Amino acid sequence: MNIKHDKVNVLKTGMALLCSKGYSNLGVDEICKVTGMTKGAFYNAFKSKEQFLIEAVLLYGENNVKRIKSELEPNGQNSAFERLQMFYHKMLKAQPRNNFTGCFINNIMSEMGFVSELVGIESSKEFVKFIDAIVPTVMEAQENGEMNRELDARQITELLHSTFYGVLTIAKSSQNIDQSILTINLLFNNLKPNQNA
């Protein structure tokens, strides 16, 4: 029987499996079993497990950029600085509900970035897109005098998101978000304008 599978749904299911098991511990057999695909259908759709991973990275990246823009959009209630801080808090506070699975891109970059050059390149490109989506809110916070204007907005954003990935990894390992939230708060406090200047 030739069943047509929705590629996006298969990729979304695969992302959940990749987050919980990691790339190395997840076989094509298990992906097929969970998604209901045959091995033939899998290889016809994705050609290889690595290609499946790359397509999952691209889909996650596309959806994540939309989510970032939506969550950081001006809302008339919170300043740019507040929206940024709440954005990172929200992602950390979601970890206990998500069984501390971390962030899909962060997990893949950590596990596969140095193993597969192609995966490393594609996941790094998605990281850059995340930075691009956050930079305008950092610039808004600087224009409003909420964040240090002497620092480059892109460098601030890279510092914020790289720090977030680091504390997310620690939260995942310790199964606790408390220290991660303290670290993010400390970073935000240090990015405020110098009051003594």
pLDDT tens digits, residue range 18-45? 888 889 898 999 999 998 888 998 999 9
Q: How many domains does the chain have?
A: 1
Summarize the confidence of residues 128-152 as an average pLDDT.
96
Please indicate, yes or no, if residue 49 is contained in any of the structural domains: no
User: Could you tell me if residue 104 is inside a domain?
Assistant: yes
Residue 26 in domain: no
The reply to whether 20 falls in a domain is no
Q: Is the pLDDT of residue 197 over 70?
A: no
Decide if 169 is inside a domain.
Answer: yes
**Cβ atoms of residues 9 and 99 within 8 Å:** no
Report yes or no on 7 lying in a domain: no
Range of the domain at 90: 59-190
Please tell me the pTM assigned to this model. 0.89
Is the pLDDT at 191 greater than 90? The verdict is yes
Q: Which residue has the higher pLDDT, 153 or 8?
A: 153
The CATH number that applies at residue 77 is 1.10.357.10
> Residue 112 above 80 pLDDT?
yes
Alpha-carbon 64 to chain mean position: 7
Residue 53, domain member (yes or no): no
Closest C-alpha to 141, from 103, 93, 192:
192
